[in-house]
Structure 1
Amino acid sequence: MLDLRAKGDLQRLVDEGLEESLTLDYKASPALTRDGKGPDELCKDVTALANSAGGQLVYGVEEDKVTKKPSRVDDGVIDPKVTREWIDQVLNSRVQPRMNGVQTARIDMGTGQFGYVISVPQTQTGPHQAPDGKYYKRFDLQSVPMHDYEIRDIMRRSTTPDLYTELWFDGRLKTHTPRVDQGTQNSETVMLHCVVLNKSPTPAHHVVVDFFVDYDLPIPFQVGPFKSIGERDEAPRPKMRIFRRVINSPPDLPIFKDGEVEQHSGVVPVQIPIEVLEGGNIYLETSIQAPGFTTTEEWLIVARTGQLKLVSPKERRTPRTHPYGWSDD
C-alpha cells in the first residue's frame, strides 16, 4: 500500500504521473457524496478492490480520462457530514459480508475540506456483495461484475489455508557476508532458514513443503526436518536439488493464521562457490501443497562482491533502480 497521509503525498502522485492500476483507483472529491448513488458507488468500488488484490481508493485526485493519470489534487469533499465515521458506517451497513481490515485516512486539503484514502486488503472472508446484489472486481481499471467461477474461487479462499514461506539467513537477516578461508573454493556454511506461515483463518493440518536449492551450491550436511528427495532438471529452468518436509497435525501443531512456531521452521545448509560469491545469482524455490491449496514461490540470492542479498518473490516482481533492490548507498 502507498503511504498517503497528507496533501503533499497526493500531490506527489500527480507530479510523478502514477497511473491507475489494479490496486489504485482515483476519484474526484464530488464522487464521495451522501446523495443519490454515491454510497452505493462507494461500496461497489471498495468491494471490487477487496474481491481482487486489495488496494487503495483515493478521493481528492482528479484523473485524466484519456491517459488514466492523475491531473490535479482538488479541494476536497464539500459536505461536512461525509466523515471517516460515515464511510465506515456505509461500508459496514451496506456490504455483505462485513469487510475486515479496511482503513480510512482523512487528508487535510488546506481548504477547510478533506480528501480520503481508503486502504482495502484482499479479502479472506468474501466475496463481498455490493448493495445492488452484485459482486464486483477490478478489471481494466474499472469495477466490473464477477463471473460465477471467480466468485467460487474467492469462496474457496475463505475456507482453505493460504500458505506462504519466509526465508532468511541466521539472525533473521536478509543479507549476509560469509567468511571465505584462504585456499578454499567455497565459503563457510550458510544456513538458509525456511518457515511456513498462513494468511487464512482456516488452519492447515497436512502440508508438504519442497525447498528447491540451486544445484551449483554444495550441501555439506543435512539438518532435519528437511530431507533430500532428489533433483529437478527441467530445462530451461535451472537445475535444482529438492528438500522436503511434511507437517501433519497431529502430532505436529496446525499452521494457524499469523502464528509462527519453531516447529514449522527448517534449515538447509549450503556453501557458496567463490566465483558465484563475487558476482552471480543463486536460484531458490519453495513449493507448498495442502488439501485444496498449492503454490510455488521463486526466491533469489544475489551475490555481489562477497555479500549475499535474499530477494523475496514480491521484490523479484517489482525491481527497483538496480535489479533485485541493490542500491548505490
Structure 2
Amino acid sequence: MLKLDTKAELELLHTGNVKEGLHLEYKASGAIDKKDDSKKLEMARDVSAFANADGGQIVYSMTEKDHEPAGLDDGVDAKVYPEIWFEQVLQQHVTPTIAGLRPRHVPLSKSMVAVVIDIPSTKGDPHQVSDGRYYRRHNFNRLIMEHYEIRDAIRRTLEPALQIEFELFKGDAAYKSVEFSQFRDESDPIALGALLSNTSNQPSMYTVVSIFIDRRVKLVSLDGFEQVGETEFSPGDRRHHLRAKIGIPGAYPVFKEMSLALGPFHFKISDRLLGQKFALGYQIKAPGCLKESHGFLEIGESGQMHLRMPPN
C-alpha cells in the first residue's frame, strides 16, 4: 500500500497524477456525513469491495475527475469524525468484520483532516454489506459479486491454497554464484530448495509436489524427491520431473502457521552452459487445490544465479 501519512504525501498523489485503480480510490469530504445513512452505506460498499478483491486504500478529502486526483479539499473536522467513528460505521454495515482495517487521520490544518482507510484483502469468508449484497473492486469500479464469485470465495476458505518459493541458499550475499573448484568443465553441486506454504486456514492432509527443471542440468542428489522421468512442455523444452509426496501418517499436514521445507536437491551444470536460462517450475496437487507456476533460473556468464519466477 502507498505510504500516505502526511499532507505532503497526499499532495504528491495530485502533482504526480496517481490515478485511481484496483487498489486506490479518491473521495471528496462530502462523501462523509454522520446524518446521512445512505453515505454510511456507500462507505461500507466501497470498503467491502476492496476487501473482497485485493485490498487497497480509500482517500477521503481528495477530489477527482475522470479517475485522476484533482486536489485536496478542506477535509473533515477530526473531533466530529474521530477514527473510531469509521470503524463503528463499518462494523455496523459489514459482516464479517474486516480484520486489519485501519482508518486514520492525516492532518491538513489546525483541526481539519483527510481520512485514509487502509483495507486488507480478506483471507476468510467474503464480506456482506447490510443491504444484503456482496461487492468487489474491479479496475476503477465497484461491482456486485455474482453468485459463482461468492461461492468460489467461500470455497477458498474451505480448501488449502498452496504455493512454492524456491531457495538458492545464498545466505547474506546479494547473489549466489556457480563454482568450479574441482573440475574445470563441470560445476560443484548447486543446491535448490523449495518452501511449501499454505495461505488458507484449511490444512492440506495429502499433497503431491512436482518440480520441473531443465533436462540440461545433471542431477546429483534428490533429498526426499523421487525422479519420475522427463516431461516435455513444448518442443525444445524437456525437463526433469521430481516429485515429493506429503501425507499422514508420516508427515504433518501442510497448514498456514508452518511452512514445509523440501529438499534441497542438488545438480551440476557444464561450463558451456554459463550465460543460459534454465526452465524451472512446479505443480502442486492436493484435494481442493491445483497450483502450477513456471519461470526459469538464470545463470550469467560469470556464474551469478538469479531465480526468475512469477509472483505467487
Calculate the TM-score normalised by the size of structure 2. 0.89
Stretch deviating more after TM superposition (164-173 or 201-210): 164-173
Cα separation, partners in 2 of 1:228 and 1:4, compared to 1, 3 Å: farther
Shift of 1:111: 5.0
Cα separation, partners in 2 of 1:47 and 1:178, compared to 1, 3 Å: same
Shift of 1:183: 5.8
Q: Give, as a single letter, the amino acid of the residue that structure 2 aligns with 1:296.
A: E
Query: Secondary structure in 2 aligned to 1:302?
Result: strand
Question: 1:64 — aligned with what?
Answer: 65
Shift of 1:237: 8.1
| Alpha-carbon distance between aligned partners in 2 of 1:4 and 1:186, rounded to the nearest angstrom | 52
| Alpha-carbon distance between aligned partners in 1 of 2:265 and 2:12, rounded to the nearest angstrom | 44
Structure 1 residue 192 corresponds to structure 2 residue 159: no
Question: 1:297 — aligned with what?
Answer: 293
Give 5+ residue unaligned stretches, structure 2: none
Question: 1:322 — aligned with what?
Answer: none
Cα separation, partners in 2 of 1:210 and 1:16, compared to 1, 3 Å: farther
- RMSD value over aligned CA atoms? 2.4
Superimposed CA distance per residue, residues 219-244 of structure 1 (whole angstroms, 9 cap, x where no aligned partner): 222221x1111222132683322111
Q: Is the 8 A contact 2:55 2:120 kept in 1?
A: yes
After superposition, residues 210-289 of structure 1 pair within 5 angstroms as 210-224=210-224, 226-235=225-234, 238-261=237-260, 264-277=261-274, 279-289=275-285
Q: Is the 8 A contact 1:33 1:79 kept in 2?
A: no
Q: Give, as a single letter, the amino acid of the residue that structure 2 aligns with 1:256.
A: F
Q: Is the 8 A contact 2:205 2:254 kept in 1?
A: yes
Query: Secondary structure in 2 aligned to 1:202?
Result: coil
Point out the structure with the larger strand share.
2
Q: Is the 8 A contact 2:227 2:241 kept in 1?
A: yes
Query: Secondary structure in 2 aligned to 1:233?
Result: strand
Shift of 1:182: 7.4
| Alpha-carbon distance between aligned partners in 1 of 2:310 and 2:232, rounded to the nearest angstrom | 21
| Alpha-carbon distance between aligned partners in 2 of 1:270 and 1:58, rounded to the nearest angstrom | 51
Calculate the TM-score normalised by the size of structure 1. 0.84
Cα separation, partners in 2 of 1:76 and 1:291, compared to 1, 3 Å: same
Question: 1:313 — aligned with what?
Answer: 310
Stretch deviating more after TM superposition (156-165 or 281-290): 281-290
Superimposed CA distance per residue, residues 61-88 of structure 1 (whole angstroms, 9 cap, x where no aligned partner): 22222xx222323332246322221112
| Alpha-carbon distance between aligned partners in 1 of 2:240 and 2:214, rounded to the nearest angstrom | 6
Question: 2:95 — aligned with what?
Answer: 96
Question: 1:132 — aligned with what?
Answer: 131
| Alpha-carbon distance between aligned partners in 1 of 2:78 and 2:263, rounded to the nearest angstrom | 56
What is the aligned length? 309
Give 5+ residue unaligned stretches, structure 1: 316-329
| Alpha-carbon distance between aligned partners in 1 of 2:95 and 2:177, rounded to the nearest angstrom | 51
| Alpha-carbon distance between aligned partners in 2 of 1:193 and 1:155, rounded to the nearest angstrom | 33
Q: Is the 8 A contact 1:187 1:272 kept in 2?
A: yes
Q: Give, as a single letter, the amino acid of the residue that structure 1 aligns with 2:304.
A: Q
Shift of 1:18: 2.5
| Structure of larger gyration radius | 2
Stretch deviating more after TM superposition (209-218 or 294-303): 294-303
| Alpha-carbon distance between aligned partners in 1 of 2:308 and 2:27, rounded to the nearest angstrom | 35
| Alpha-carbon distance between aligned partners in 2 of 1:62 and 1:236, rounded to the nearest angstrom | 54
Cα separation, partners in 2 of 1:301 and 1:74, compared to 1, 3 Å: farther
Query: Secondary structure in 2 aligned to 1:154?
Result: helix
Q: Give, as a single letter, the amino acid of the residue that structure 2 aligns with 1:162.
A: A
Cα separation, partners in 2 of 1:70 and 1:203, compared to 1, 3 Å: same
Question: 2:167 — aligned with what?
Answer: 168
Question: 2:153 — aligned with what?
Answer: 154
Q: Is the 8 A contact 2:222 2:263 kept in 1?
A: no
Q: Give, as a single letter, the amino acid of the residue that structure 2 aligns with 1:291.
A: P
